Amino acid sequence: MKVGIVGLGLIGGSLGMDLRACGHEVWGYSQRASTVGKAIVKGAVDVACPNWADLAPAEVIFLCTPIGLLVPTAQQLIPHLNAGTVLTDVGSVKASIVETLEPLWPNFVGGHPMAGTAKSGIEAAFMGLFKGNPYVLTPSDRTPPSALAQVETLVTELGADLFHCAPADHDRAVAWISHLPVMTSASLIAACLGEADPQVRALAQRLASSGFRDTSRVGGGNPELGVMMAQFNRSALLSALQAYRGVLDGVIDHVEQGDWAGLESLLRQTQQARSDYLREPPV
């Protein structure tokens, strides 16, 4: 299949590498010509597309630009597409994107691979990023079954675990497990920087080990992506943040009052519940 990729960064570049390994021909467009050149050297793209019209032969096109640019990118691309071309996106937020793009392109299928790293750009792309990780598709009653089937086939070939849900349900779910963790992890790092004694702060930095590495990882990621999560999933994220603040206030109360039984009860509950959110890591 001829597959187009617009935006050759971490996600677009990684998709290109995997899809090429599956035998597809990848046609790549990115903002900078130098990025497309790097993508070809890296094995993520077969054919460089300097202009939108060059993507016309692609049967399925993945939009992989930053969230805030997905809709403007699609608007620029759509006039150059053949009627049968399937358009899908990889944006971390779905409702606003699907609501805008579905009426603009009937063969649109919203998507979100639940995979990433703290790095960005084509240099960060690697093969196997999606394998064993969830990949959510958010079709609606209006999505043509043939368009959905083509995207499903490609996602399955990536070795990803396919999920379907409504765009609004996706946004509420990822607010809990992706967007809230980014904000709380970033808040953790910011709070540590609040240590007034420079010697203690430096000591903490030297002593930080696996626990801090785990809990601070997503707070140390791409700032633009974090801001866009908040902008584009604002109401679901706000609900989750307020719930989190309520739980944190409860923890403060337990500690202030020396209510160790109450604290232990909470920690027992979270110890048991954690596994419900964890999958076996990809082999």
Q: Tell me the residue type at 266.
A: L
3-state secondary structure of 257: coil
CA geometry: angle 122, 128, 131, nearest 5 deg = 130
Query: What is the number of other CB atoms lying within 10 angstroms of the CB of residue 197?
Result: 9
Question: What's the closest the beta carbon of residue 150 comes to ligand NAP, in angstroms?
Answer: 20
**CA torsion angle for 39, 44, 49, 50 (degrees, to 10)?**
-10
> Which CB atom, from 186 or from 263, has the smaller least distance to ligand NAP?
186
User: Does position 186 bind ligand NAP by CB under 6 A?
Assistant: no
Site string for ligand NAP, 120-159 (x = CB under 6 A): xxx-------------------------------------
- Choose, by CB under 6 A, the member of 25, 37, 59, 66 that binds ligand NAP: 66
- Residue 71 beta carbon to ligand NAP: minimum distance, rounded to whole angstroms: 11
Task: Judge whether 149 and 86 are in contact, CB under 8 Å.
Answer: no
CB 71 within 8 A of CB 100: yes
In Å, what is the CA distance from 111 to each residue of 14, 64, 81, 135, 146?
Answer: 15, 10, 19, 7, 15
In the stretch 11-30, what mask flags binding to ligand NAP with x, by CB under 6 A?
xx-----------------x
Nearest to 155 by CA among 173, 132, 178, 124: 132
Provide the residue type at 11 as one letter.
Answer: I
Told to check if 31 binds ligand NAP by CB under 6 A, we report: yes
Contacting ligand NAP (CB under 6 A), which of 22, 47, 69, 266?
69
Q: Which stretch binds ligand NAP (CB under 6 A): 15-23, 65-73, 133-141, 246-254?
A: 65-73
For residue 110, report the phi and psi dihedrals to the nearest 5 degrees: -70, 145
Site for ligand NAP in 165-184 (CB under 6 A): none
Is 185 a binding residue for ligand NAP by CB under 6 A? The answer is no
- Among 26, 58, 67, 77, which residue sits at the site for ligand NAP (rule: CB under 6 A)? 67
Binding site for ligand NAP (CB under 6 A): 6-12, 30-32, 35, 64-67, 69-70, 73, 90-92, 112-113, 116, 120-122, 225
